[in-house]
């Protein structure tokens, strides 16, 4: 019986010790280790200075700083112009573990122990990204990027582009877009030069290729028309990709070697064609000149979407006709002196397609080539010309008679006035 009571007593003591450790262990441990001592000079947690602070003061200061950061943090996810703010509910903050490490290791600098809930983060991602992007997103790396920002309690707006976290499979490079144009004879020299000098263009993320700052800046003696043939081919190969077009122009007349919506005109020191991309991987634009054709390929990791170029709202404008009288043509005869040209316009669009269908469209350009008028010569009959001449003669005669009468009346008035003046002078 006595032994049984001893067992009960021991069990009770163990339970009491466990309760004591659970409820008072942290404060007891802190008081034993630190007593009433304060933190050393230079000690900080996530940039929060703890110089001279006791354990209780330090914990309170960190808690208030955490609350302020949670209210003010602006970590934002970005994808193709759409933004989604990461809510504070995503973060799992372990302040106890932070303080425990601070006491045991006594580091001078320490980050907050914070984790990010994957499920909550994925919900934020789904607000701006479709299923295709979600399937290719490296959620672990995205999670870590957010944690690194949060651990230091960095405030201010911080934008995370989801394009930076699309998984890239090394060794999977291939042709993702191609364009080819037959080279007119007058452009053969510039095409050969282009292939030799710029046949393999490498583009890193956020790097822009500019015609004016690249090939046209070297002072090579090629005309704007020749360079425009190259830039047009280049424009056509980057359109069915996710590359951005920073600058692009067209002329007043659609060149014979291309179609509506496909021209990219350049003019020395004035009009540029420039483009780039925001992809994580490096891409190349490779040019070849074979069998009279200039071919360009964009080579790199395949995009997670397919991109297509569309031409919408195509409209044709008939030229106006301007008639001019031609004395050398007889009445009723008509002859085209200058043949006009139809005007044309259309909307250039880019379509983004996933395996499940079209997921987006954007208008890139609205091209318009104005019509040029047709000039028509029209003949007139002789009688009408004679009649017109007779009428002009009559008008001329009437005008001369009127002028003669007016001059005679003016002379008579002057003579009368002079006579009156002379009479008055004689009377005086």
Contact (Cβ atoms closer than 8 angstroms) between residue 171 and residue 200:
no
Burial class (CB in 10 A: 0-12, 13-18, 19+), 70: middle
State what percent of residues in the chain have pLDDT above 70. Answer: 79
- Residue 408, pLDDT > 70, answer no
- Predicted local distance difference test score (pLDDT) of residue 316: 95
Most confident by average pLDDT, 135-139, 232-236, 402-406:
232-236
Residue 14: both structure tokens together: 């163990």
Look over the chain and give the mean of its residue pLDDT values, rounded to a whole number: 81
Q: What is the mean pLDDT of residues 90-111?
A: 84
Tokens 């190349």 — which residue? 284
Contact (Cβ atoms closer than 8 angstroms) between residue 296 and residue 231:
no
- Residue 381, pLDDT > 60, answer no
- Predicted local distance difference test score (pLDDT) of residue 28: 41
- Predicted local distance difference test score (pLDDT) of residue 337: 76
Q: What is the mean pLDDT of residues 4-23?
A: 58
Task: Return the higher-pLDDT residue of 154 and 187.
Answer: 187
- Predicted local distance difference test score (pLDDT) of residue 218: 80
Q: What is the mean pLDDT of residues 153-182?
A: 85
Contact (Cβ atoms closer than 8 angstroms) between residue 261 and residue 346:
yes
Radius of gyration of the chain (CA): 43
Task: Return the higher-pLDDT residue of 86 and 411.
Answer: 86
Instruction: Specify the range with the lowest mean pLDDT, choosing from 145-159, 296-310, 393-407.
Output: 393-407
- Predicted local distance difference test score (pLDDT) of residue 19: 52
- Strand segments (E) across 12-129: 44-45, 48-49, 74-79, 82-85, 91-93, 109-110, 114-116
């Amino acid at each position: 019986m006595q032994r049984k009571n001893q067992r009960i007593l021991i069990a009770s003591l163990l339970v009491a010790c466990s309760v004591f450790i659970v409820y008072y262990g942290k404060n007891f441990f802190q008081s034993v280790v630190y007593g009433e001592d304060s933190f050393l000079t230079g000690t900080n947690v996530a940039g929060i200075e703890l110089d001279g602070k006791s354990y209780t003061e330090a914990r309170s200061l960190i808690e208030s700083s955490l609350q302020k950061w949670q209210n003010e943090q602006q970590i934002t996810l970005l994808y193709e112009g759409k933004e989604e703010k990461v809510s504070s509910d995503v973060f799992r903050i372990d302040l106890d573990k932070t303080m425990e490490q601070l006491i045991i290791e006594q580091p001078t600098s320490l980050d907050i122990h914070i984790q990010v809930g994957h499920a909550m983060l994925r919900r934020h991602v789904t607000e701006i990204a479709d299923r295709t992007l979600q399937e290719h997103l490296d959620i672990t790396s995205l999670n870590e990027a957010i944690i690194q920002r949060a651990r230091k309690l960095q405030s201010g707006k911080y934008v995370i582009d989801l394009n930076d976290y699309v998984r890239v499979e090394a060794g999977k490079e291939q042709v993702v877009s191609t364009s080819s144009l037959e080279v007119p004879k007058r452009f053969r020299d510039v095409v050969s030069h282009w292939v030799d000098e710029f046949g393999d263009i490498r583009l890193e993320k956020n790097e822009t290729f500019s015609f004016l700052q690249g090939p046209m800046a070297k002072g090579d003696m090629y005309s704007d028309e020749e360079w425009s043939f190259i830039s047009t081919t280049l424009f056509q190969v980057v359109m069915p990709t996710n590359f951005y077009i920073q600058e692009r122009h067209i002329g007043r007349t659609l060149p014979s070697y291309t179609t509506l919506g496909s021209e990219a005109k350049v003019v020395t020191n004035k009009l540029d064609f420039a483009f780039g991309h925001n992809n994580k991987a490096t891409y190349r634009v490779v040019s070849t000149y074979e069998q009279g054709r200039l071919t360009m390929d964009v080579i790199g990791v395949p995009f997670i979407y397919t991109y297509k170029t569309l031409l919408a709202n195509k409209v044709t404008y008939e030229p106006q006709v301007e008639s001019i009288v031609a004395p050398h043509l007889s009445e009723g005869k008509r002859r085209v002196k200058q043949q006009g040209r139809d005007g044309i316009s259309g909307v250039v669009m880019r379509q983004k397609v996933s395996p499940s269908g079209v997921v987006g469209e954007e208008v890139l350009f609205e091209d318009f080539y104005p019509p040029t008028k047709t000039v028509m010569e029209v003949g007139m009959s002789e009688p009408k010309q004679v009649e017109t001449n007779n009428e002009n003669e009559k008008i001329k005669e009437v005008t001369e008679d009127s002028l003669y009468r007016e001059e005679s009346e003016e002379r008579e008035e002057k003579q009368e006035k002079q006579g009156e003046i002379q009479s008055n002078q004689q009377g005086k």
